[in-house]
A = this chain, B = another copy of it.
Amino acid sequence: MRYPASETAEKHTRILNEATRLFRERGFSGVSVGEIMKATGLTHGPFYNHFDSKEALMAESLLHGMQKTLDGLETTEGSAKGRAEYVKNYLSGAHRDACGAGCMMAALASEVRQQPQARGPFTTRLKSIVAKTASHFPWPSKRSARGDAIRMVSSMVGALILARAVDDEAFAEEILKEMRRGLV
């Protein structure tokens, strides 16, 4: 083999990271395979040595990106204070302006609907995110925890999407602020 296996795996990961960032910034259809490869420092050719197709990359990228959300939950303090902190960070101006490094769901959820190969991975990870949110944080009652988690996740995603779509900074900030107020 020309390259040691570790180096190959590292390139696979690099493609995945760059793709995930670019997808979040400009959407699945807004980024070309060639552009992703250029971002990793390679040419467009060897893409197919690492992935079967762009759709396969999209699916893997979703798993990868949403796993990071899960990891972020895990490393957040599992208290009411930790939850408030998490909400404040999620609904911050910094997160609004950093699509490429931010939440995968807020960036791509509405495109996932139209991409058959992407819906499975999305569903898998969203279920984990809901379950972790329900179990990791304290809630008024154990019975309502899962519902509370679904409401919190959905509300945060919706508010961030609207704040990002809006052309008026003050209005965007108002959306984030009001949702923070409702959730902490």
- How many copies of this chain are found per oligomer? 2
The chain B residue with its CB closest to the CB of A149 is: B178
Question: In the assembled complex, which residues on chain B have CB atoms less than 8 Å from the CB atom of A154?
Answer: 155, 158-159, 162, 175, 179
Closest beta carbon of chain B to A42's beta carbon, Å: 25
Q: Are B162 and A159 in contact (CB under 8 A)?
A: no
Asked if A120 is an interface residue, CB under 8 A from chain B, the answer is yes
The chain B residue with its CB closest to the CB of A122 is: B165
9 A-B contact pairs sorted by A residue (CB < 8 Å)? A27-B111, A27-B114, A30-B114, A109-B110, A109-B161, A113-B161, A122-B165, A147-B182, A156-B158
Q: CB within 8 Å of B: which of A98-144?
A: 99, 105-114, 119-120, 122-123, 126-127
Binding site for B on A (CB under 8 A): 26-27, 29-30, 99, 105-114, 119-120, 122-123, 126-127, 146-147, 150-151, 153-159, 161-162, 164-168, 171, 174-175, 178-179, 181-182
